[in-house]
Structure 1
Amino acid sequence: MIKRKKLLLLLFLAAPTMLFSQTDTLVKKIVKEKDLRLSYYVEAESFGTKRETEPQNYVLNYSEINGDKSSKSNWLNLGLYSRMRSEWRHNDIRRTDTYSNDYLLLFKTRAYIGIINILDPFRGAIEFGDSRRNNGNYAPDNRDVNPTDIIQAYAEIYFDKILPKDALGNKRPTFLRYGRMAMEMVDRRLIATNQWRNTTNNFRGFRMQIGQDKNDWQMDFLLLNPILRDINDYDKPDTNQEFSAIIGHWRKWSNIITIEPYYLSLKQEAAIANGNKSRNIQSLGLRLYGWIKSTGFNYDVTGIHQFGTDNHKTQKAYAATAEIGYTFQKTKYKPRLSAFIGYASGDKNPNDNESNRFERFFGFARPWSADDYIIMENIIAPKIKLEFQSKIKNTLVKVDTGYNFYWLASKTDRFNNLLGGTANNRDLTGQSGSYLGHNFDCRIRFYPVKYLETNIGYSHFITEEFVQNQQMVLNGNYASDSDFVYLELTFNFLELIKKTK
């Protein structure tokens, strides 16, 4: 059986390559004969799926800071930023109270130092983080609080000449990295740093990458232990969990389609810290995205199958997301209108020997809901979004807004974030219904000055039968709606001193 699963995995990862070799001639007829691109990479354009750069965009090369583009200055990467977010949450359904008002001040600071080029093939980086919270009516948790700790600290062996360049002339670098690190993969729904949250997902272990975003193909390999965020002590790796991944990227025809097959594995040994639960969750996924020629339509589709075992139950879960959007490219504000549907399975029968609850691994929850209520498990979530940009006195302003609906995929499984979790978020009988609610959200982002990013947002959530019924069971009353308002300011210190010519 084990050999059979390994064979299926190899066939899954190899299938796109075998298929492409047979269809390359056909696709070349569709692609323009003379490709003037400098890179194969095409952004998906789907909402909330754009990965953070590596290093992240707050990091600048020293040559950018001092205005010297020579090779003498390009060996050092530096970054320093601080973010403050003020939040008001009214009737937050994640809390055990039905009615509540909570005012939070969240502070996040990051500092980064990276060495490149000068000692090749040896490179490395270290990133410090500090996350704190003021005010708040509820006990602090590691989503908001993680005082001074190391986010990243790794050494790297980097080669950019051992593999031939791609057809566009881009180098195909290879690196092997070990240490503590943070990264985002595929569409961020399963592996993400979670930049919106006040604290960061990170890992300890090995990462190998062949190729880069510019190339026609690229492979990523991960073998990691998740880092446990401790609000009272230094963070430590969870040695009871092992997370591994093989992720492929095929971009040769990226002006039509980008194809990303992947395999993810989470193995957990039973221990006191995890409630003596052993797990072995395997995932096979395939993402397809691109543009439909020059029509302005773009799409992003993913399907995921999970198997293995979850605490002695057979794991059999599924997830799928699909988004199609239209960008009005010839208009001044470049608006994009999109429709999205997301599905992640929930456990159908709590009394059988099968677990159907989708495992979201270490994903980014915010694309599912602006108020952080929804995560990628036991959910059906259709939504429509409108995005556009404008200029006000030479300042670029980006706006996005949308309307979202939410149902449980299984009425007998939990709504993870409701009423503090545990017994309050699940009705084993299914009599509480499946409709969670619907919400409107809006966000405005702009830079009043080059070193200060401003982010203002609002979300209004209207509760429906499942939320209302569960609140009634716990508190004897329910709130018909909730509100979330925030103002976020991000200050990049190095942009302030950056020299321009």
Structure 2
Amino acid sequence: MIKYKNLLLLLCFIAHTNMHGQNDSIASTKVNKKENRTSYYIEAGSYGTKRETEPQSYVLNYSEINGDKSSKSNWLNLGLYTRTRAEWRHNDIRRTDTYSNDYPLLFKTRAYIGIINILDPIRGSIEFGDSRRNNGLYPEDNRDVNTTDIIQAYAELYFDKILPRDKLGNKRPTFLRYGRMAMEMIDRRLIATNQWRNTTNNFKGFRMQIGQDKNDWQMDFLFLNPILRDINDYDKPDTNQEFSAIIGHWRKWSNIITIEPYYLSLKQEAAIANGNKSRNIHSLGLRLYGWIKNTGFNYDITGIHQFGTDNNKTQKAYAATAEIGYTFQKTKYKPRLSAFIGYASGDKNPNDNESNRFERFFGFARPWSADDYIIMENIIAPKIKLEFQSKIKNTLVKVDTGYNFYWLANKKDRFNNLLGGTTNNRDLTGQSGSFLGHNFDCRIRFIPVKYLETNIGYSHFITEEFVQNQQIAQNGNYASNSDFVYLELTFNFLELIKKTK
């Protein structure tokens, strides 16, 4: 159960913040004119870190649908889309087989209804989801399948006049939300809805937000239980786990740097469902990102320290990511070239009283690898990426490609997704080496008509010593490479009937 007394303390904190804020001067038109800005928010620009909007991008306000933004129908948000992805996975190293060919068809449907404005301060939303897989070679799992269930269903108290506006004139709204919800935070590596995956991360509990992206500062507070996805039955909250977070955003100097400090906590009570393992993991993190004036260079740096206990062992783990990119602004295709390095610690010694494996919480794995092999634990992952865009007959085409390398941070700890994640994904002796492999990937995205998004991708993974040795240990042979090809089509029904004036 969530500790509701924490919520009372939080409300006291907000009241203090509000009293302090009333003493600040509200607006400086001089600053506004000087900077010629209407928002403090500047997107990081780093690869794969852009958060999904709230509500999500497939949702439209009814005034947009009927083509009259000045109408009084702006109190209703609606969304309905379906996504189909055809995949070919050749020698998928996540499977227990060394050699395989799998041709799954993944189907994902979402429907959304949201009420805003008309009953303020009371607002609410509900989102239904249905995720299925056909033609798969392997048993169904809750990464691909979660038949008709509720993704979000929450009520909200929304206030936009409690706190003074920022110096650019933007309101600083505050909301308190309770119910089932899904969200993305920070750079999505630790808290994400996981849009690529066929099923969605979601939670039940309280969420409070002070401010919005446009503001110079913003705070987010989470007190949640993760939702356990059941393939065929109704999803239920995991009452044995409590996830909480405090996340700050400082954008006062966003033309140079945006600062995002945060604290995350995961408390797990021992139960039969989790193997009678108790955990109490705390994370302190700091993200810094920005653009270097008008040079075309941007950066995104994060450092995280974890402490607490993991099944009676002392938790001592670390993670860090760093990316620097350069965008060629004066060229037609505006290419961006970037270099990235990511590190998440692994357990050094399975026989001591210390756990060094980084806890990845509820993050988005795809930025680590296009084939979904790599997650944010026990990994060293350098990569280079190239992104550019062009127009073909008035259709914007976005292309990104890259080359990636992967090593275990500690060769005595596991490679989580290898061989089904059960046996032979860890060598306690360390004699299997640490080099996992390297891969090339590319992706093309375009919208041929306004209601249809197309996403085509390919990834080629070359296995190295650790993967090969563990495949040999289990199957007596190894695959030297693996391929992943996909075609994804997303159909937005409301874009089809949307009127324009």
TM-score range, shorter chain: over 0.9
Residue 232 of structure 1: how far off its partner (Å): 2.0
SS of the residue 1:188 aligns to: coil
Q: Quote the Cα distance in structure 1 between the aligned partners of 2:333 and 2:32.
A: 28
Q: Quote the Cα distance in structure 1 between the aligned partners of 2:111 and 2:190.
A: 25
Q: Which amino acid aligns with 1:122?
A: I
Q: Which deviations, in whole Å up to 9, do the C-alpha atoms of 1:343-363 show, x marking residues without a partner?
A: 000000000000000000000
Partner of 1:87: 87
Partner of 1:141: 141
Q: Which amino acid aligns with 2:294?
A: S
Residue 33 of structure 1: how far off its partner (Å): 8.5
Q: Quote the Cα distance in structure 1 between the aligned partners of 2:364 and 2:275.
A: 25
Partner of 1:489: 489
Partner of 2:289: 289
- The answer to whether residue 180 in structure 2 is matched with residue 188 in structure 1 is no
Q: Which amino acid aligns with 1:458?
A: Y
Say how many residue pairs are matched. Answer: 475
SS of the residue 1:34 aligns to: helix
Partner of 2:204: 204
**Equivalent residues in 2 for 1:403-414, closer than 5 Å:** 403-414=403-414
Partner of 1:102: 102
Partner of 2:5: none
- The answer to whether residue 467 in structure 2 is matched with residue 467 in structure 1 is yes
- The answer to whether residue 181 in structure 2 is matched with residue 178 in structure 1 is no
- The answer to whether residue 224 in structure 2 is matched with residue 224 in structure 1 is yes
Kept after mapping to 1: 8 A contact 2:32/2:168: no
Q: Quote the Cα distance in structure 1 between the aligned partners of 2:312 and 2:151.
A: 34
Residue 32 of structure 1: how far off its partner (Å): 11
Q: Quote the Cα distance in structure 1 between the aligned partners of 2:85 and 2:318.
A: 35
**Equivalent residues in 2 for 1:53-92, closer than 5 Å:** 53-92=53-92
Q: Quote the Cα distance in structure 2 between the aligned partners of 1:241 and 1:456.
A: 37
Partner of 2:268: 268
**Equivalent residues in 2 for 1:3-402, closer than 5 Å:** 34-402=34-402
- The answer to whether residue 473 in structure 2 is matched with residue 476 in structure 1 is no
SS of the residue 1:160 aligns to: strand
Residue 242 of structure 1: how far off its partner (Å): 0.1
Q: Which amino acid aligns with 1:49?
A: T
Residue 70 of structure 1: how far off its partner (Å): 2.2
Q: Which amino acid aligns with 2:219?
A: M
SS of the residue 1:473 aligns to: helix
Partner of 2:13: none
SS of the residue 2:103 aligns to: strand
Residue 468 of structure 1: how far off its partner (Å): 0.2
Residue 424 of structure 1: how far off its partner (Å): 1.5
SS of the residue 1:375 aligns to: coil
SS of the residue 1:287 aligns to: strand
Q: Quote the Cα distance in structure 2 between the aligned partners of 1:59 and 1:330.
A: 34
Residue 69 of structure 1: how far off its partner (Å): 1.4
Residue 71 of structure 1: how far off its partner (Å): 4.6
Q: Which amino acid aligns with 1:429?
A: T
SS of the residue 2:473 aligns to: helix
Partner of 1:7: none
Q: Which amino acid aligns with 2:320?
A: A
Q: Quote the Cα distance in structure 2 between the aligned partners of 1:330 and 1:184.
A: 33
Q: Quote the Cα distance in structure 2 between the aligned partners of 1:32 and 1:253.
A: 14
Residue 102 of structure 1: how far off its partner (Å): 0.2
Q: Quote the Cα distance in structure 1 between the aligned partners of 2:32 and 2:289.
A: 19
Residue 331 of structure 1: how far off its partner (Å): 1.4
RMSD over aligned CA atoms reads 1.5
Q: Which deviations, in whole Å up to 9, do the C-alpha atoms of 1:284-342 show, x marking residues without a partner?
A: 00000000010000000000000000000000000000000001112111110000000
Aligned sequence identity (%): 92
- The answer to whether residue 444 in structure 2 is matched with residue 444 in structure 1 is yes
Q: Quote the Cα distance in structure 1 between the aligned partners of 2:393 and 2:126.
A: 38
Q: Quote the Cα distance in structure 1 between the aligned partners of 2:405 and 2:306.
A: 25
Q: Quote the Cα distance in structure 1 between the aligned partners of 2:159 and 2:374.
A: 41
Q: Which amino acid aligns with 2:35?
A: D
Partner of 1:435: 435
After TM superposition, the runs of 4+ consecutive aligned structure 1 residues lying more than 2 A away are none
SS of the residue 1:64 aligns to: helix
Kept after mapping to 1: 8 A contact 2:380/2:406: yes
Q: Which deviations, in whole Å up to 9, do the C-alpha atoms of 1:431-489 show, x marking residues without a partner?
A: 00000000000000000100000000000000000000000000000000000000000
Q: Which deviations, in whole Å up to 9, do the C-alpha atoms of 1:417-442 show, x marking residues without a partner?
A: 00011221000000000000000000
Q: Quote the Cα distance in structure 2 between the aligned partners of 1:353 and 1:32.
A: 56
Please say which of residues 326-335 and 374-383 is displaced more in the overlay. Answer: 326-335
- TM-score, normalised via structure 1 length: 0.94
Q: Which amino acid aligns with 2:433?
A: G
Q: Quote the Cα distance in structure 1 between the aligned partners of 2:447 and 2:462.
A: 32
Q: Quote the Cα distance in structure 2 between the aligned partners of 1:196 and 1:145.
A: 13
Kept after mapping to 1: 8 A contact 2:32/2:167: no
- TM-score, normalised via structure 2 length: 0.94
Partner of 1:27: none
Return 5+ residue gaps in structure 1 as ranges: 1-9, 11-16, 18-30
SS of the residue 2:423 aligns to: helix
